[in-house]
Amino acid sequence: MTIGPIDKPSIMASPTRDIQLTKDGGIKHFLTIEGLKKERLIEILDTAESFVGVHSQSTKKVPLLRGKTVANLFFENSTRTRTTFELAAKRLSADVLNINLNVSAASKGETLLDTLRNLQAMQCDMFVVRHSASGAAHFIASHVEPHVSIINAGDGQHSHPTQAMLDMFAIRRNKGEFATLKVVIVGDILHSRVARSQIHALNILGAGEVVVVGPKTLLPDNLRELGVTLEHNFDKALKDADVIIGLRLQKERMRTALLSTEDEYFRSYGLTEKRLKLAKPDAIVMHPGPTNRGVEIEASVADGPQSIILEQVTGGIPTRMAIMSIAMGNVEKALMASRTGSQKTNDNAKPATDPTASQE
């Protein structure tokens, strides 16, 4: 799939970001973390915490999305994200549609908007969208009817807000307060929507220090504008680290050679047992997956006692349940208010242009 010009790594403010909020500031679409207030993130983390026990109930369900239909629209591959969204929706008692976009009308040339309008005509209430074009979820959110909520499950190199929130959930559960933490994010920052969303979330939650590490070719200079420290020496960055987040080399997004060899990368930026000793003894190791063992992380570290990689996956379910139930609740509240004429939402925001148009 080609990547259009809008897909250039960008840390610019999203022009349409207000579209995700109701007039009173509640989240009705979850498109980006950028610009959200701290209390909104805390609301998600606290709500996620309240859902943790659901998986150990004999009936693993709460009725918050009963009678609602959630459609998973994944235009890009995914394992963890798609399945945890599906489980989250099912645990909220929603009906779930997994659209196989490889065999659907989209591959027969139907535009994104046509696919969307058809699903809307089937009375779907929520679309979980992953797309290779940055801005795709914003574009969809600017075109749906007021009863529909859009959750961004990753758009190009721009944003992956639910992943960042499940990461914050895992950090808070293991470390408590954010203010004292040194968080080191290492790897292919240039192409990482996860890193961008994590940086916004960590800033909003008031993390003590965020250091991003990688080779010059994978570490855009303009990240400094987000208040993070850039470092090319991984050993140096690891000193006093509380949280280390590894990222995958996103070769599918590299249009030119940005790396010498994987062996060389591992020597400089691989998280090995030896290197991990440079961090605080109780530092936690995280990774959004998929991990490339021997490229960005040593197998014994990925499976070791400091790794919380699988805990991140488990926490993805309550975190996504929280985001979906909060968004659906706010959509309903806004609809009710507009029916009674007491509240207008930001639905009138100018529709974004279609970032996926070149692909259809």
Is position 288 an interface residue for ligand NCD (rule: CB under 6 A)?
A: yes
Can you tell me which residue has the tokens 């400091």? 306
Q: Report the nearest approach of ligand NCD to the CB of residue 235 (Å).
A: 24
- Phi and psi at 154, nearest 5°, equal 120, 115
Is position 196 an interface residue for ligand NCD (rule: CB under 6 A)?
A: no
C-alpha 178 chain-centroid distance: 19
Is position 312 an interface residue for ligand NCD (rule: CB under 6 A)?
A: no
Nearer to ligand NCD, 91 or 320 (CB): 320
Reported for 330-333, long-range contacts at CB under 8 A and 24+ positions apart, including other chains, are 330/22, 330/26, 330/27, 330/28, 331/28, 331/125, 331/146, 331/147, 331/148, 331/149, 333/22, 333/26
Is position 248 an interface residue for ligand NCD (rule: CB under 6 A)?
A: yes
Nearer to ligand NCD, 135 or 154 (CB): 154
**22, 134, 163, 319: which one binds ligand NCD (CB under 6 A):** 163
Is position 150 an interface residue for ligand NCD (rule: CB under 6 A)?
A: no
Is position 246 an interface residue for ligand NCD (rule: CB under 6 A)?
A: no
Is position 315 an interface residue for ligand NCD (rule: CB under 6 A)?
A: no
Is position 289 an interface residue for ligand NCD (rule: CB under 6 A)?
A: yes
Is position 253 an interface residue for ligand NCD (rule: CB under 6 A)?
A: no
Is position 293 an interface residue for ligand NCD (rule: CB under 6 A)?
A: no
Rg of the chain over Cα atoms, rounded to whole angstroms, equals 20
Please give the Cα distance from 172 to 47 (Å, whole number): 13
Is position 214 an interface residue for ligand NCD (rule: CB under 6 A)?
A: no
- Asked whether the beta carbons of 156 and 356 are under 8 A apart, the reply is no
Q: Beta strand 126-131 with 95-99: parallel, antiparallel or unpaired?
A: unpaired
Is position 81 an interface residue for ligand NCD (rule: CB under 6 A)?
A: yes
- Asked whether the beta carbons of 321 and 61 are under 8 A apart, the reply is no
**158, 172, 193, 253: which one binds ligand NCD (CB under 6 A):** 193
Can you tell me which residue has the tokens 């507009």? 338
Residue nearest to ligand NCD (CB): 248
Cis, bond preceding 290 (omega within 30 deg of 0): yes
Nearer to ligand NCD, 21 or 323 (CB): 323
Footprint of ligand NCD on this chain (CB under 6 A)?
Answer: 80-81, 154, 160, 163, 193-194, 248, 250, 288-289
